[in-house]
Chain A
Amino acid sequence: MSKGEFAIIGTGEVPCGQYPDRTEFETAYTIAKMAVADAGINVKDVGAVLCAQHIMSGGIVNDYNTEAVFGRIPEAIGAKNCKITCMTSSGGASSFSIRKTAEGILHSGETDTVLILHAQRFSQFKMDEMARYFAIAGSDCEWEVPYGMTYNSLAAMITKAYMDITGTTIEQVAAVAVACRKWACLQPNAMFNKKEITVEKVLSSKMVAYPLTSLMCNVLADGGSAYIMTTAEKARKVCKKPAYILSDASDYSHRTITRAKVKGFEGLGTFLKPIADKAFERAGLGPKDMDIFELYGSYPVIELILMDALGLVEPGKSGELVASGATSPGGKYPTTTNGEALSFGHTGTGVGFGLFVEAVRQLQGKAGKAQVPGAKFIIENTGGGAFMDCHFTVLGNEIPR
């Protein structure tokens, strides 16, 4: 991929939260039409429709996945010139793998316009079904699940290790949740957008997996987002302010956390830094050039580890940075401007989509109350499994030479 070869020209999103009566199909249908309308194109321009897999299997979900795989969406929205459909999944990293699939399709020249979407409805499942699924998603069935491992305990273990190694306090960890909530309060589609929270409130909420309290854990939610991707050439013709993809960089580490490529959680940052460096280098930009940091944490500690890797502060000092308010609205380093999984809501494979679509809105000047004035460059990341991989992407509304 060369710099600024592709661009996003429009997005669509539904409110995130508990919407048991809103089927995945309705969500997909709604956001697809919104994205087409927002991009200002004719739906007949859409030549490929890519859907991310609805995570968790069973009953009605299979119906949605099956419908999406076998071409329901293009038919429903009237994309009569659609030539290619597919479904992609790499868990939390799906928003990246699906975009790379789209890039391949655009490269092929078969079409110059791709619709990409994700729809999720967790509320059809019982709490225990979700707890079981998310134990499996983050852990090995033979070697970890029998010990009562959960996603929350995995994040709790990483938090404990990170605090031990860096001297970060639990108050600083809690500050991430406070900052995310502040952003969510500026977002009409966020699940928790009514009231800000304090560090005291986060720490006094119910203990879930020591040292994590409930407000430091994400909440599974129903939601969906979509966008239209095209070539930079076409974007310039049809869109006043496209969001260009300037660069990306990836790496994969492990399936089970005990097999991580770089040993120890102090090593997680060591694993991430070269990926971020490569993404910056390929864009010809550095961390100080970024106006916004859309980091897929899902738990506060992961946001801190990601920030350590970006080189804004000395590794291990990101907790101080967040506690200072630098990542909150009005701060020097606006981070997770949609409120992230912690406050926007965790839509399974959709968390990365939500952050990506928010990055595009920011670059298009369509972020409403959360708009960071004059935002020009954004770094975004996503990853899946038990922190198995990481993909950084740099976006901009101009292409630096």
Chain B
Amino acid sequence: MGIKEFLGLSDDDVKKPLPIPTKWSKPFWDAAKQHKLVLKKCKKCGNIDHPPYLYCTNCGSEDHEWIEAKGKAKLYTYAINVYMVPFPFWDDMPYVVALVELDEGVTMTSNIVECDHDKLKKDMELEVIFDDVSPEITLPKWRPVKG
């Protein structure tokens, strides 16, 4: 029995919070929907920002381009959530929240999936996968590189 039935919750209580794309982050989410991982690169100073904001966090310029990432990363650190999470995530426990370092040099907060929890290890090699969580939103997540 899920948390919704167990506690008699409403659909709204267990509705997952999804990203609401902004004008400047929309290209990221549009690409994710196409199962592509893109990053925002400043045209003025070359800095790559993730998350992408209206401004470059290095030089403040708004002039930018989108580059396709290799989709490779290393695990920097992680937590395994097993209790006390918001209701929408209750039935997912245990799940892994992690900081992953992309080859392109940026750090991303995400989930590690398709991995035994006792095999999680700092610096392990990861590759991106795409989770179509709603018709509009696809979340990039990460799994160990096979082989």
Decide if B97 touches A149 in the complex (CB within 8 Å): yes
CB pair B51 A143 closer than 8 Å: yes
Asked whether, in the complex, the Cβ of A147 is within 8 Å of the Cβ of B97, the reply is yes
Report A-chain residues with C-beta under 8 Å of the C-beta of B18: 146
Chain B residues near A139: list those with CB within 8 A: 109
Given known contacts A148-B92, A148-B97, A259-B57, A143 and B81 CB-to-CB distance under 8 angstroms: no
- Known interface pairs A147-B109, A210-B82. Does A142 touch B122 (Cβ–Cβ under 8 Å)? no
Closest to B97 in A: A153
* Assembled-state Cα–Cα distance A212/B19 (Å): 27
Q: Is residue B79 contacting chain A, with contact meaning CB distance below 8 A?
A: yes
Given A142-B51, A147-B111, A131 contacting B85 (CB threshold 8 A):
yes
A134: min CB distance to chain B, Å: 9
Q: Are A150 and B84 CB-contacts (below 8 A) given A140-B51, A157-B97, A258-B99?
A: yes
Which residues of chain A from 108 to 140 have a CB within 8 Å of any chain B CB? 128, 131-132, 135, 139-140
Q: Is A34 an interface residue (CB 8 A)?
A: no
A164 to B: closest C-beta gap in Å: 5
The answer to whether A209 and B50 touch across the interface, beta carbons within 8 angstroms, is: no
Q: Are B83 and A206 in contact (CB under 8 A)?
A: yes
Considering the chains assembled together, what is the distance between the CA atoms of A157 and B98 in angstroms? Answer: 7
Name the distance in Å between A36's Cβ and chain B's nearest Cβ: 39
Which residues of chain A are near B117, meaning CB under 8 Å?
210
Inter-subunit contact B109/A144 (CB<8 Å): yes
**Closest-CB distance, A175 to chain B (whole angstroms):** 20
Residue of A nearest to B50 (CB): A258
Q: Name which of B97, B98, B108, B110 has the most chain A CB atoms within 10 A of its CB.
A: B97
- Which of B13, B21, B85 has most chain A Cβ within 10 Å? B85
Report whether B109 and A128 are in contact in the complex, using a CB–CB cutoff of 8 Å: no
Chain B residues with Cβ below 8 Å from A148 are 81, 85-86, 89, 92, 95, 97, 111
Nearest CB to that of B139 among chain A residues?
Answer: A146
Also in contact, A146 and B19, with CB within 8 A (given A157-B99, A161-B77): yes
CA distance A374 to B92 in the complex (A): 53
Provide the bound-state CA to CA distance between A8 and B99, in Å. 42
Residue in A135, A153, A161, A206 whose CB lies within 8 Å of B76: A161
CB proximity of B100 to chain A, nearest CB, Å:
10
CA distance A147 to B141 in the complex (A): 9
**Does the CB pair A153–B79 fall under 8 Å?**
yes
Q: Is B130 an interface residue (CB 8 A)?
A: no
List chain A residues, Cβ under 8 A from B97: 147-150, 153, 157, 209
B70-109 contacts to A, CB under 8 A, are: 76-87, 89, 92, 94-95, 97-99, 106-109
Among the listed B13, B80, B94, which residue makes an inter-chain contact with A128, where contact means beta carbons less than 8 Å apart? B13
Tell me, yes or no, whether A1 is within 8 Å of chain B by CB: no
Q: Is residue B2 within 8 Å, beta carbon to beta carbon, of the partner chain?
A: no
Interface positions of A from 360 to 377, Cβ below 8 Å from B: none
Residues of chain A with a CB closer than 8 A to B19's CB: 141-143, 146
- What A residues does B25 contact at CB under 8 A? 142
Note all chain A residues with C-beta closer than 8 A to B79. 152-154, 156-157, 160, 209-212
Q: Identify B80's interface contact among A131, A210, A264, CB under 8 A.
A: A210
B43 at interface (Cβ–Cβ under 8 A)? no
Q: Tell me, yes or no, whether A257 is within 8 Å of chain B by CB.
A: yes
8 closest A-B pairs by CB: A156-B79, A161-B77, A210-B80, A148-B89, A153-B79, A258-B107, A143-B51, A142-B19
Given contacts A148-B111, A152-B84, A161-B77, list 12 more A-B pairs with CB under 8 A. A141-B17, A141-B19, A148-B81, A148-B85, A150-B85, A153-B97, A208-B84, A209-B82, A209-B83, A210-B117, A258-B50, A258-B106
